Structure formats: C-alpha cells, structure tokens
Amino acid sequence: MRAEDDFTRRAGALLRAAANDLKRDDENAERELGLEKGTFAEYCAGTRPVTWELMRRAAEVWPLDERDLLPGHDDCPAGVRVMRHEESRAGGRVLSRGGEPYYEYRDTAMSRIASYRPEWIRMLRVVEDDDPDNPLVQWNRGHLLYQFTYFIGPVNYYYRWNGVSACVPMDTGDSVWGLPFAPHSFTSRSATEPACILALTYGGSLLGDAQRELAVLGNATTRALAIPLDEHARRPGAMIRSFMDAGAVTVAELADRTGLSPERAGELAEGATHPDTKELDLLAHALGVSVRDLLPPRTETAGGISLQHARDARSWVWPGEDAPAYRITRLAGDPLHPHTSALQVDVLASAAGRSAPLTTYQHQYLYVLGDQPVTMCWEFAGRQAEETLTPGDSAYVRPQVPITFAATGEGGRPRVLLLRISGSVTPEVRYAVGTMAPGGVDRYVAEDRLWYS
C-alpha cells in the first residue's frame, strides 16, 4: 500500500473511532457534519480522503480536537530508516553563542514515529581548564527533552542543578543522561583532536498528548499533579492519597478496608513512613489497585544527571560466551526512565557468524562509531534486508524489528551506539492492549466499522 493511501485509511479509521466513541451512526454523523448522504462510510473506509475542512467541522460540532482525527505519518515503511554520514555532513550548521561560533550541529537519523532529536555536535570552543565558571563557557537554559550524551574525544561537560555548576572532563565512551530543563554546556580540551558528542535528545511520554493536555490544564494544575521524588517522598504516600481522592476514601474507611489502625493508615497516607510488604498488599487491595500502582520510581540522578564513565561501565558478551556475536557495554541511564537503554555494541562476528538478532520493544536509534563499516541485516513485514553502514551513518529502527550486525571487512571490529526509548506505548498501554476482547487489537489499530451491526 502506498504511504499516502495508508495515511488516508488511518484517517478514516480515526474518524470512525471518534464517531463510535460519540455514539454517532452514519446518518447522524452525515447530518451533523453536513455531509452528503452515504459519504460517511466512504470517508471512514478511506476510499474518500478526509479533508481539513471535514476535520475542522468535526472539531466544531463534536467535543474533540482536529488532532484527534489526524493520523501519524509512517516515514519508515521498510522497518529501518538510514541517514548517511554524507547527508548529515551536508546539513551541518554552526551555531554561535555569545556572538562566536560555539557548536557545529549535524542532524542524524530521525523518524516521525519516534520522539528522537539526535544530533552529532562538534565543540568549537577550546578551553584549558575544567573550571565551570570559565567565562569562555556558554551555558544554555536547558531544554524540555531528556538528553543522553555519548562523548567522543576530549570533551568537557558542564551541568548546573539548583544553581550549582560543575564540570566533568569526559573522553571517548563516557556517557551521561540528564533531566529536562537543566542548563548545560560542552567545550573541547584540545585544539587539534576532534571533540564531539552525540546529543540524543528525546521526549518520550512527556511530549505529545501529555504536554498538550497539561498546556490546556495550565500551570496550577500541572504543579498540583507533579509528584516530586526528593528524599522524603520516596514513599507511596502521594499515590495512596491520589487513589483515596479518586475513590473519595477517608482515613477511617481506609483503616476499615485494610484492617490497619486509623493511626497507621493515616501515617501511610501521609507518607510519614514506608509500608512493609504486607501493608502494601493490604493497601493495594483496599484501594482496588495493583501494588505497582502505589510504588514511586527510583532515581540515581545526582545534580540532575546520571553519569557513566567508560572505565567502570559494565560489559558482557551476547548472546553467550560460547558464540559471542557482540560485546555489549551498558551506558548512562536512570531508573526514572526504565524504558530507555543506551548500549555500546562492539561487533565481534564476521559475516559468516551473523545469527544473533537483537530485538526490543523500544524504538531504536543507532549510530556507527569508530572507523569500521558494519553490515546490518533486519527483517520487517516478512522481508529480509541488508545495508552496509559506514562510520557516521545513523538509523532509526522500528520496535520489534530484529537486527543483526556483522563486521563488513576482514578483522574489523565495528562499534555501534544504540539508544532505545519507549514512546507513547507505556506499560499501561501494553497491558491495556493485551487485555482487549478477542479481535480488539486489529480494531484498536484501525477501526473500520460501527460499534454495533
């Protein structure tokens, strides 16, 4: 199917799903949207393209947004979308800070399917110390996107959290993961050696629907909904209170449901102490939720970042010692983002031994590091494909697409950086899809019929 037809079909399915949600049959929809009799089914089937005018009209008369009717574009129909080094280089641009050239930016592989904004960046400012207050260092104001950074060469990394600035001298293979809106900067420690980073920014579930919803709800509501993770708050109190609010549950009622004393129930709801395992179970049952819904996540960030030096990074061979295809090194990340994984893959297998597919539920970004080309094979929609990637090439890989790497040349040891992220398909969504009635998944992905017949 042509990408355009597929887009039209998905737009039709969204229109049908919206009409179903609002309990409109074709006749009602046609009347309310001012459509000719018999055309609504054609729009929904994708045989007649949904127009901007129709979306505008729907957003006017129905309680939905135009965006709810807009499908996504699929710019990766082959499963993998490659961006060549030459294309990255040609799109390079120098950005100045304080009136002087500071960074050279080059785009690398992006896709409309995932929230990656991965840039290759060369540091143009050279410093001779690691002083965070060096006036040559130009700080940004921080940005919304999470940032995973992989370092290549003698790069100084600067970060600021709560007004405290720091500088860490980094080298090839070091990496860092940082929280949104924390100011940071990078410089080079050498006028001759290349000093670059791969600044892999991504929004994950912060972008898209959540941001739009909160933008409408406003500042005060967003602040009220925010759950801080400071030292004192690493207890389930905030979520217990949320579920108590949701169900209009009093402390007395919570005590009654759990069998705990009112004092103890109050303490736990306040987050004054940590419940033990038995109490967690009682609370979950009492509130009609799962234990996981009560538990706050963990973070290992300090100063807004999690830092991983290459010298003490964990590495292991995959899939096993007896036939190792890759040496995997775990790069920076944080438990706050359990569905983000950054890996350095050193390819040990030559073309003959390529039989170790790497598959994940996440969106994948890859960048060919080092100086060796690598052959990548993948399988998508029943088709096998193969590409030789050279250093500086990058690619986006759809979730669940198995990929294998092999050294292209004799005796080479290619090195590939993988950054894997989840998008809007959170575990909540995965469980929800997994518990649909039989036949539900196909209709969720593309509703093609009235909800009754």
CB of 169 vs Fe ion, minimal distance in Å: 18
* Sign of the C-alpha dihedral computed for residues 72, 75, 76 and 81 taken in this order: negative
Closest contact distance (angstroms) between CB of 143 and Fe ion is 6
Q: In angstroms, what is the minimal distance from the CB of 140 to Fe ion?
A: 6
Cβ proximity to Fe ion: between 182 and 294 the closer is 182
CB neighbour class for 281 (10 Å; exposed up to 12, middle 13-18, buried from 19):
middle
275-294: which residues touch Fe ion (CB under 5 A)?
none
Query: CB of residue 184 vs Fe ion: minimum separation in angstroms?
Result: 6
Give the nearer residue to Fe ion in terms of CB position, either 142 or 236. Answer: 142
Residues that contact Fe ion, how many (by CB under 5 A): 1
Q: Looking at 74-82, 103-111, 119-127, 141-149, which segment touches Fe ion (CB under 5 A)?
A: 141-149
Q: Which is nearer to Fe ion, 125 or 235 (CB)?
A: 125
For the record, the structure tokens of 11 come out as: 């737009």
Contact assessment for residue 74 and residue 372, using Cβ atoms and an 8 Å cutoff: no
Full 3-state SS string of 176-235 = EEECCCCCEEEEECCCCCCCEEEEEEECHHHCCHHHHHHHHHCHHHHHHHCCCCCHHHCC
Q: Compare residues 96 and 290 and give the one whose CB is closer to Fe ion.
A: 96
Evaluate whether 79 touches 381 at the Cβ level (below 8 Å).
yes
Which CB, 52 or 181, lies closer to Fe ion? Answer: 181
Q: Nearer to Fe ion by C-beta: 43 or 120?
A: 120
The structure tokens listed for 452 are 């009754």
Among residues 146, 141, 174, 422, the alpha carbon closest in space to that of 304 is found at 146
CA atoms within 13 A on the CB side of 334: 21
CA torsion sign for 211, 215, 217, 219 is positive
- Name the residue nearer to Fe ion (CB basis): 147 or 360: 147
Q: Which residue has the tokens 């600044």?
A: 199
Mention every residue, 6+ apart, whose C-beta is less than 8 A from residue 259. 282
* C-alpha pair distances (Å), 318 with each of 275, 341, 366, 409, 413: 39, 16, 18, 21, 15
Region for residue 43 given its phi and psi (left: phi exceeds 0; alpha: psi -120 to 50; beta: otherwise): alpha
State which amino acid sits at residue 171.
D
Which residue's CB atom is positioned nearest to Fe ion?
147
107/94 Cα distance (integer angstroms): 12
For the bound state, the minimum distance from the C-beta of residue 119 to Fe ion, rounded and expressed in Å, comes to 9
Residue 67 CA to residue 216 CA, distance in Å, equals 14
Q: How many CB atoms lie within 10 A of CB 80?
A: 21
Question: 285, 353, 295, 287: which is closest to 319 by C-alpha?
Answer: 353
Of 8-16, 104-112, 142-150, 164-172, which part binds Fe ion (CB under 5 A)?
A: 142-150
| Shorter beta-carbon distance to Fe ion: residue 140 or 350 | 140
- Give the interface segment with Fe ion, choosing from 1-9, 143-151, 310-318, 346-354 (CB under 5 A): 143-151
Question: Among the candidate windows 139-147, 265-273, 394-402, 421-429, which touches Fe ion by CB under 5 A?
Answer: 139-147
Q: Which is nearer to Fe ion, 20 or 147 (CB)?
A: 147
147 versus 329: smaller Cβ distance to Fe ion? 147
Among 313, 325, 324, which Cα is nearest to 403's? 325
Estimate to the nearest angstrom the gap between the alpha carbon of 434 and the chain centroid: 21
In the complex, the smallest distance separating the C-beta of residue 139 from Fe ion, rounded to whole angstroms, is 11
- Residue 215 C-beta: closest distance to Fe ion, Å: 22
Q: How far is the CB of 237 from Fe ion (least distance, A)?
A: 33
Site for Fe ion, residues 144 to 173, rule: CB under 5 A: 147
Phi, psi of 405 (to 5 degrees): -120, 145
Each residue 72-91 as x (binds Fe ion by CB under 5 A) or -, in order, gives --------------------
CB of 201 to Fe ion, least distance (A): 6
CB of 106 to Fe ion, least distance (A): 15
Q: How far is the CB of 313 from Fe ion (least distance, A)?
A: 22
Residue with Cβ nearer Fe ion (147 or 205): 147
Which residues lie near Fe ion (CB under 5 A)? 147
